[in-house]
Chain A
Amino acid sequence: MTKLLFNFLIFPGFLFTIVLGFASCWIDRKVTARIQWRVGPPWYQPLMDIIKLSIKEITIPRTASKELFFFSPMIGLSAVTLVSILVWLPNIDPVSKGFSGDIIVVAYLLTLPAIAIILGASASGNPLASLGASREIKMVMAYELPFILSLIVPIIKSHGLLRLSDIINYQVLNGSFAASFSGMIAFIVMIFCMQAKLGLVPFDASEAETEIMGGVFIEYSGMLLAIFKLTKAMLMVVLPLFLITLFWQGFNFLSLWKYAILLVIIILIRNTNPRVRIDQAVRFFWGKMTLLAILAILLAIKGM
């Protein structure tokens, strides 16, 4: 019980993922700044943002549905914390085996932050926030289809294993899935879905600051906004690690370079693309990405 709480709150769970998330947020902002020939913020900037937000006043609009507005950030944060412990433990702790079907639980829980954002934005009673929420709904519908389709590929390739630790062991014995043809296609599809799940630049139409003024977060302030920022920072750690677990033999602390490579890919996509309109994003995910994912599944069934 104590070990479980420790796992959940401190070591691979909440606190550790937040520290890594702050580091990767800072790397993201710093590299972006260097690309634009700026100096960029100091290393403690994400921490300072969170501390500052948490000591500021929480404003709740009069037209808002108060309970939902207040509790929806917590839904997102607790979902990401659960995902973090489910993804970390099979990788770094050889004793922990997880349970059969945890890959499905992770896939469900990874949708919850977006649902929390949609709930909170619709509860805030702001027209721009509801616009952002409708865009977020469309975005979720767009990227979930190729995401789930390419999630099937490692399951097919490992002959029906539904447990993350089993998938890692299979890859350690038989080579990583990303090295095969179908695995590589599914991995690329997953990287684009990850960008959309993180809400970063080509797919950030729901919180477009220059267009709908923060969109879904427009009415949030203080601690509640800080919780949303924390959720995004933790997703930035959890999603790449989930991809590495599925396609790239898992990781331990010696192979954090895999995480660094995925982070660089995220930053590069973010800095070299303009924001796409929501219809372009839906067409991209339901068109090219879904076709690629189906192709990957067919190849995986063929055994390639």
Chain B
Amino acid sequence: MSLRLKALTKSIWVYHLSTGSCNNCDIEIIDMLTPRFDAERFGITLVGSVRHADAILVTGSLNLKAVPRIKQVYAQAAKPCVIIAIGTCSCGQGIFKNGPNCPNPVDSVLPVDIYIPGCPPKPEAMIAGIVKLIEKLNGKK
């Protein structure tokens, strides 16, 4: 059991899913994966296909067109797969809270495991969030 958990937390392949963001969080995610922060030391790599993913990084205020699509993407992912909401828009709805075209928060559609707020969050904040997620997984199971 512990080997299973160790394997799951030591080799996190992330998939980047934008649900209509302003691209700022996306740029910061790419920054997190650059050699300066070197996420590969913890086994974190960016993958192109959601079938390979262990974590889905959701950014952006979820607009109406994106709702069925992110449901489909989550259904395509191989479980176990965690969801990380990145940025104020996907954590709460940010400045789009009263917007007519983004009525659903991300966590009303997907089971979000951890929220990383910020507009955009710094790469350090994302790494701290992922470390907390790993601690939570280790403590819970």
Contacts and interface: CB of A to CB of B under 8 A. Distances in A.
Nearest to A47: B7
A51 B3 contact: yes
State the main secondary structure of chain A at its contact with B: loop
B138 interface: no
A39 B48 contact: no
Given A38-B35, A38-B41, A49-B11, A59 B48 contact: no
Contact of B51 (A33, A38, A219): A219
B40 A40 contact: yes
A59 B51 contact: yes
A52 B11 contact: yes
Interface residues of A, number: 32
A39 B41 contact: yes
A52 B54 CA distance: 9
B132 interface: no
B78 A56 contact: yes
Contact of B48 (A37, A52, A56, A214): A214
Interface residues of B, number: 23
Contact of B7 (A37, A52, A221): A52
A210 interface: yes
B35 A37 contact: yes
Contact of A38 (B7, B38, B43): B38
A256 interface: no
B38 A49 contact: no
Contacts of A213: 48-49
Most buried by B among A42, A48, A220: A48
13 contacts: A33-B38, A38-B38, A40-B41, A48-B11, A49-B43, A51-B4, A52-B54, A57-B79, A58-B78, A214-B48, A214-B49, A220-B52, A221-B52
